[in-house]
Amino acid sequence: MRQRLAVGNWKMHGSLPENQALLDKVAVTAGGLSRAIAVVCVPFPYLAQARSALAGSKAASGGQNVSQYPKGAFTGEVSAGMLREFGCRYVIVGHSERRQFFGEDDATVALKARAVLAEGMIPIVCVGETLAERERGITEEVVGRQLGVVADRLGAEGLKASVLAYEPVWAIGTGKTATAEQAQAVHAYLRGVLAARDESIAASMSILYGGSVKAANATELFGMRDVDGGLIGGASLVAEEFLAICRAADG
């Protein structure tokens, strides 16, 4: 069964009082969802706040990044074990902003996903093409390669315990959403890539869409056959928007 998910990625936004108001509302709304899980991926310093605000609710918290190393002299890094201790159930890996601004390649993303799995959490593995790559007609090649490297390194067991997110780079923070048909086409392609490896993994994998998801387009996007919910940036910072998106993911 494919888990429906609405995952908020706050990116580098937030403050203690703003977060509290938002988290309290997410905790309440999550309780009213019947099949979707609401998740908030907050900046590291706010993980303790998210854990306590969401305690006892059906919502989950997550990290936006993680070190590929378990411990050691890696100044500024945060390990998967630390994220687990602070209540994370999910961790985003390979977000395009990490790839673009912090030089993360496919092999590093795969190591990070493995580190997350080793601590019993769920990696949300992001793939997506840039505008130039889409215009060159190599979207499938790009996302297929990104998924392939991670799939090779995780193996069937690891892959089965992961979530995939398709985030076209040209749609992130631009207000330019992929159409529901564009999203569906890539999601179906990704599911096909998985099916070629293992039919049961393809059937159970949640594939989220991310890129300018809003309350106004969530229902149409999440209504597509291979779209199992969303990874939401800007709109996850606005309570009414994010809560409406959570309800759209619930169907």
Active site residues: 95, 167
Residues 219 to 238: which contact ligand 13P by CB under 6 A?
A: 231-235
- Is 172 an interacting residue with respect to ligand 13P (CB under 6 A)? yes
- Residue (171 or 193) nearer to ligand 13P, CB: 171
CB nearer ligand 13P, residue 71 or residue 232: 232
Closest distance of CB 129 from ligand 13P, Å: 14
Task: Give the contact letters, 93-122, x = binds to ligand 13P (CB under 6 A), - = no.
Answer: --x---------------------------
User: Residue 90 belongs to what H/E stretch?
Assistant: strand 88-93
Compare residues 137 and 218 and give the one whose CB is closer to ligand 13P: 218
Return the residue nearest ligand 13P (CB atom): 233
| Separation of first and last alpha carbons in the chain | 15
Query: What's the min distance (Å) between Cβ of 102 and ligand 13P?
Result: 14
Could you tell me the two tokens for 141? 């090649």
Contact 220, 171 (CB under 8 A): no
d(CA 177, CA 217): 8
In the complex with ligand 13P, the residue whose CB is nearer, 167 or 226, is: 167
What does the per-residue mask of binding to ligand 13P show for 24-63, with x meaning CB under 6 A? ----------------------------------------
Rounded to whole angstroms, the Cα distance separating 38 from 31 reads 9
Query: In terms of CB distance, is 100 or 200 closer to ligand 13P?
Result: 100
Binding residue for ligand 13P (CB under 6 A) from 31, 70, 120, 173? 173
Helix 47-54 vs helix 16-31: crossing angle, to nearest 10: 30
CB of 70 to ligand 13P, least distance (A): 25
Give the footprint of ligand 13P on residues 112-171 (CB under 6 A).
167
Q: Where are any strands of DSSP class E within 128-246?
A: 163-166, 207-210, 229-232
Indicate the burial class of 130 (C-beta count within 10 angstroms; 0-12, 13-18, 19 or more): middle
Cβ-based neighbours of 234, under 8 Å, separated by 6 or more? 173, 212
Residue 80 CA to residue 10 CA, distance in Å, equals 19
- Count of residues engaged in binding ligand 13P, rule: CB under 6 A: 14
Q: Distance between CA atoms of 95 and 89, rounded to whole angstroms?
A: 17
List the x/- string, 178-217, binding to ligand 13P by CB under 6 A. Answer: --------------------------------xxxx----
Residue 7: closest CA among 28, 31, 33, 37: 37
**Would you tell me which residues interact with ligand 13P (CB under 6 A)?**
9, 95, 167, 172-173, 210-213, 231-235
